[in-house]
Amino acid sequence: MALILIVDDSLDSLVSLSDLIQTNGHQCRISASWKAALDQLFIESFDIIICEYVMEEGNALWFWDHLKSLQISSQFHIMSEDAQLKDKVFLTNPLISFCLKPVQWDDLSRTLNQQI
């Protein structure tokens, strides 16, 4: 069982993804902003961080770089509705995984199992 942090500025996405993850046996926390996510990361360690690519604060790759500068070593997973973004993400960093929104459990489960 993994402890997962979900970061998304859409409350609907946070709730539905959190329910999906918990129903499948993992624990999770949610955050509606990167600032709040960083606050949580100073309190608790997470196995995986799942982050929406586009948020008001900027893109998820900026957040990833910030996490690395703080030496936070959680696995990082980006989700987006933009299918073309996958190639951009992997060209930037092959250690970051990606899935399309709306998230399908089979796709996310496969990715999580590879990262845990």
- pLDDT (tens digit per residue) in 14-61: 998 999 899 888 999 999 998 899 999 999 999 999 999 888 877 888
Residue 79: pLDDT band (50, 70, 90) is: confident
Which residues, listed in sequence order, are joined to residue 78 by a DSSP beta bridge? 51, 98
2: exposed, middle or buried (Cβ count in 10 Å: 0-12, 13-18, 19+): middle
Q: Give me the sign of the Cα torsion angle 55, 112, 21, 2.
A: negative
Which CATH number does the domain housing residue 34 bear? 3.40.50.2300
What is the pTM for the complete model shown?
A: 0.86
Q: What are phi and psi of 40, to 5 degrees?
A: -65, -35
Total of domains in the chain: 1
Number of other CB atoms surrounding residue 92 within 10 Å:
12
Please compute, for residue 51, the number of CA atoms within 13 A of its CA located in the half-sphere on the CB side.
29
Q: Which residue has the tokens 């996405």?
A: 13
Domain that holds residue 107: 3-115
